[in-house]
Amino acid sequence: MRHAVPQQGSNAERSRHHNRQAVLGQIHHAGTMGRAEIARMLSLSTQAVSNIIADLTDDGMLIEKGRRSVGRGLPAVQYAVNPNGAFALGIEVRPDAVFAALLDMQGRVVMTERKSLSDAHPDAVLRTVTAMRDAAMTAQPSARKRLLGAGIVMPGPFGRTGIAGRGTDLPGWQQVDARALFAAALELPIEVGNDANAAALAERIAGAAQGLTTYAYFYFGAGLGLGLVSGGRLLHGAFGNAGEIGHIPLRTAQGTVPLESALSRLSVQRHMAQAGKTADDIETLDHLYAATDPDLTAWLASAAFALDHAVAIVENLFDPQTIILGGAMPATILDHLVAHTNLPTLSVANRSDRTQARLIAGASGRMTATLGAAALVLNRTLTPEIAQAY
Amino acid sequence: MRHAVPQQGSNAERSRHHNRQAVLGQIHHAGTMGRAEIARMLSLSTQAVSNIIADLTDDGMLIEKGRRSVGRGLPAVQYAVNPNGAFALGIEVRPDAVFAALLDMQGRVVMTERKSLSDAHPDAVLRTVTAMRDAAMTAQPSARKRLLGAGIVMPGPFGRTGIAGRGTDLPGWQQVDARALFAAALELPIEVGNDANAAALAERIAGAAQGLTTYAYFYFGAGLGLGLVSGGRLLHGAFGNAGEIGHIPLRTAQGTVPLESALSRLSVQRHMAQAGKTADDIETLDHLYAATDPDLTAWLASAAFALDHAVAIVENLFDPQTIILGGAMPATILDHLVAHTNLPTLSVANRSDRTQARLIAGASGRMTATLGAAALVLNRTLTPEIAQAY
DNA sequence: GTTGATAATTCAAGTCATTTGAGTTAATGC
DNA sequence: GCATTAACTCAAATGACTTGAATTATCAAC
């Protein structure tokens, strides 16, 4: 989890850094832009933007895209983010395997890899991860000098005291500073986050949340996670554990249970197991769904019921532009849930002037969190830092 | 509702503004500080801080507080925020009355006033509010040249489409830009917010949230509101309606009802009315509580039950440092609820290393939101702006 | 008590990114 | 064609912060 940046003053150097990030972010967002347009957006002089663009172009982060004429006047030279200008490594550590993905600046997947893990202690994980970084650099040699950093997704909470009796699934990680360990082993800037947060940002870099600044993301992992993005930045909470929506109580006819006991991959696995069926992976679930399996259908009904509740809570607490549903589920099931959720009437999101659907499907599949890990890094590069007040 | 600031670049002028706010905020937070200490906190040179402090002192915003010796070396000259360096006007508009309060820089109440309102249309309200501003300036002439602005708390949502069939209680305010109207009438910088948000900031300026940066605030108004502060800044949501926790569904034995039907002032009034008792104001409630009224006791039990649920949701979604309970209720009842809420076990806030209670009582009483309105202005002065990403 | 170490503060000069203003280039539209 | 509009560049100016040397005042050790 990234620690909150302490309050900082501003000086020329930090202004420069901020402005470069802001320019990159604007161009990434718009796809292609001219100097004057950027200057207007950021309330900077065109000269300042010119200087920044010259820098970024020299660094290979931007490329010229010809001139574009819009009415009178000299047509503006357009700039776009160079996809190969930089790369980000995403690493997802699970108890039994490590996943890696290399993304370019446009969020496109350059390479992915999976390695089994027989031992999830820090030493073994760090060795594996280092080897995967090397493999990625071999596969894409141009990324060697242009690697922005690595994003790590691990089961949390870690590094801090968590809920009594819960904690990371990974042995030997409770008392260590994961960020520092990875930084030392990989010799890269590191972002550490949980799966839901990472996946939420992945949608923003190259997914359903492009162009959104304030949205919520439900992530189907083993449990149910929530990524909250406000003003383009992740909300971490005071101790880095915001978004544990799976824990909130759901009052059903059978009693009060945690939300994720009705709405998660573990929940569907358990439900199917009671019917004597296995549904341990995404492909199986997809087949069961295609076959309109009655047990799966029953689970979907109870999941949609739980989702109604979760949507009502998140909409009224955050007032997001939209809610995205994604994660380790087949796309068909995500689409089904989106289609079959009863959006609450009593919600601040129930507005007559909406332009955005209230609930949409995002990226799905096994790699979602791994791509998200890389997105943690890309987002940092495209979004000016926010300092803590006080 | 304050609109999100569009993304901005940084230059010397904006750096200066940012740094002045940051210095003021640090000093306000610590009470009293020396130049070198501030410089370390903000990662600025002592020279820069010296210049800023000289400016702020000239403007009357800071006062010297002697030297303080901490070990070797030249004792540092201490500075504190000058309480009379600036003032903020808080205005709360209700259907039947307008409340005003003048606060100094330390959040202390200089003056309060109440005026009945026979007509809540914009013209009448603006006339009343302008008269109250003049009265405040007469009561505290030194504030005339030192008024930072006015914060306005009104029933929302307004200025934008709200939930169908709901909207402001005030006639004639649906289609107008309240901020612009007040700015024109009062000739002051204006912050508009809802009661819960405003009260949440009041706790930060001079209350239970001093020193906190990330916390949640349950506000008892007519309904139930939630103020969310993250990193010292209010979360507004995409459309300014974040925090409508009163709307979320609560599943009780009697069926699903909005949370605020169990946990709000209207709810207690209704409950007592069913028993043939009136409990329309805070004093009455306080007396009933002191007399251990059995009907009130019953309501308190159901309210505490609802609060359990709300706490579980807010803790797991936001991971705040603490949750504060405040608003238009007698302090005795707030204290009772704090003492009788079953804090959920399954919560990220259930940590072994807590230094802060999970649920505490904040300011109570009729004026809470009015003071909060002024706090909106004070907080803006003490907290560097945050620009929207994209 | 003297003396040296430590630390806050100031002064004056230097640095750096942005702004300003004049001039150039290349479209549109009458 | 020719005036208008707008993007862009060059060179100089600006402004806030940083740097480095000098000053002041306390603590601690001899």
Rounded Cα distance between A70 and B147, Å, is 46
N-term to C-term CA, chain A: 20
Determine whether the interchain pair B390/A241 forms a contact, defined as Cβ–Cβ distance below 8 Å: no
E strands, chain B, are: 33-34, 62-68, 76-81, 87-93, 97-104, 109-116, 147-153, 190-193, 215-220, 224-230, 233-234, 249-252, 255-258, 322-327, 359-364
Rounded Cα distance between B180 and B359, Å, is 37
Report the candidate in A224, A229, A202 with the shortest Cα–Cα distance to residue A214: A229
Q: How far is CA B164 from the centre of its chain?
A: 27
Footprint of strand D on the protein (CB under 7 A): A 9-12, 34-37, 46-47, 50, 71-77; B 12-13, 15-16, 19, 43-48, 51-52, 67, 69, 71-75
pLDDT band for position B159 (50/70/90)? very low
- From chain B, pick out residues whose CB is under 8 angstroms from the CB of A18: 9-10
Phi-psi region of B274 (alpha: psi -120 to 50; beta: other; left: phi over 0): alpha
A258, A280 Cβ separation under 8 angstroms: no
Distance, Å, A74 CA → C26 C1':
5
| DSSP element (H, E) containing A286 | helix A282-290
Distance, Å, A16 CA → C16 C1':
9
- Measured torsion, CA atoms of residues A262, A264, A269, A274, in degrees rounded to the nearest 10: 0
Q: What is the pLDDT of residue B157?
A: 64
Q: Tell me: the pLDDT tens digits for A210-257?
A: 989 999 999 998 899 999 999 999 999 998 889 999 999 998 877 889
Ranking A16-30, A93-107, A145-159, B239-253 by mean pLDDT, the lowest is A145-159
Q: How far is CA B84 from CA B102, B108, B148, B167, B202, in A?
A: 11, 10, 12, 38, 18
Q: What is the pLDDT of residue B3?
A: 52
Chain B interface test: which of A1, A8, A10, A382 (most B C-beta within 10 Å): A10
Using DSSP bridges, classify how beta strands B255-258 and B322-327 pair: parallel, antiparallel or unpaired. unpaired
Write out the two tokens for B228.
């969310």
Q: Give the full edge-to-edge strand order of the sheet including A109-116.
A: A109-116, A97-104, A87-93, A147-153, A190-193
- Measured torsion, CA atoms of residues B24, B26, B31, B32, in degrees rounded to the nearest 10: -80
Query: Which DSSP letter does residue A148 get?
Result: E
Q: Can you tell me the mean pLDDT for B104-121? A: 94
The shortest CB-CB distance from A41 to any of B7, B18, B312 is to: B7
Q: Can you tell me the mean pLDDT for B80-108? A: 96
Q: What is the pLDDT of residue B167?
A: 53
Query: Which DSSP letter does residue A95 get?
Result: S
Q: How far is CA A52 from the centre of its chain?
A: 28
The shortest CB-CB distance from B389 to any of A25, A244, A252 is to: A25
How far is B22 from chain A, CA to nearest CA, in Å? 7
Phi-psi region of A31 (alpha: psi -120 to 50; beta: other; left: phi over 0): left
Beta bridge partners of A227: A217
Report the candidate in A348, A298, A291 with the shortest Cα–Cα distance to residue A318: A348
Give the residue whose CA sits closest to D14 at C1'. Answer: B12
- From chain B, pick out residues whose CB is under 8 angstroms from the CB of A353: 160-161
CB atoms within 10 A of CB A256: 11
Q: What is the pLDDT of residue B5?
A: 72
Largest CA distance in chain A: 71
pLDDT band for position B165 (50/70/90)? very low
Q: Tell me: the pLDDT tens digits for B25-76?
A: 999 999 999 999 999 999 999 999 999 999 999 999 999 998 888 888 899 9
Burial class (CB in 10 A: 0-12, 13-18, 19+), A72: exposed
Nearest nt (C1') from A35 Cα: D7
Q: How far is CA A115 from the centre of its chain?
A: 22
Q: Tell me: the pLDDT tens digits for A307-366?
A: 999 999 999 999 999 999 999 999 999 999 999 999 988 898 988 888 899 999 998 888
Ranking A83-97, A262-276, B251-265, B368-382 by mean pLDDT, the lowest is B251-265
Q: Tell me: the pLDDT tens digits for B64-75?
A: 998 888 888 899
Determine whether the interchain pair A238/B163 forms a contact, defined as Cβ–Cβ distance below 8 Å: no
Rounded Cα distance between A60 and A62, Å, is 6
Chain B interface test: which of A2, A51, A213, A247 (most B C-beta within 10 Å): A247
Q: Tell me: the pLDDT tens digits for B215-253?
A: 999 999 889 999 999 999 999 999 888 999 999 999 887
Minimum Cα–Cα distance from B311: chain A residue: A248
Rounded Cα distance between A315 and A342, Å, is 13
Write out the two tokens for A343.
């959006």
Whole-angstrom Cα Rg for chain B? 22
Report the candidate in A276, A338, A361 with the shortest Cα–Cα distance to residue A288: A276
Burial class (CB in 10 A: 0-12, 13-18, 19+), A277: middle
- pTM metric for this prediction: 0.93
Residue written as tokens 């549904």? A279
Beta bridge partners of A216: A228, A323
Write out the two tokens for A382.
């495209």
Rounded Cα distance between B169 and B358, Å, is 34
Tell me: pLDDT of B161 over 80: no
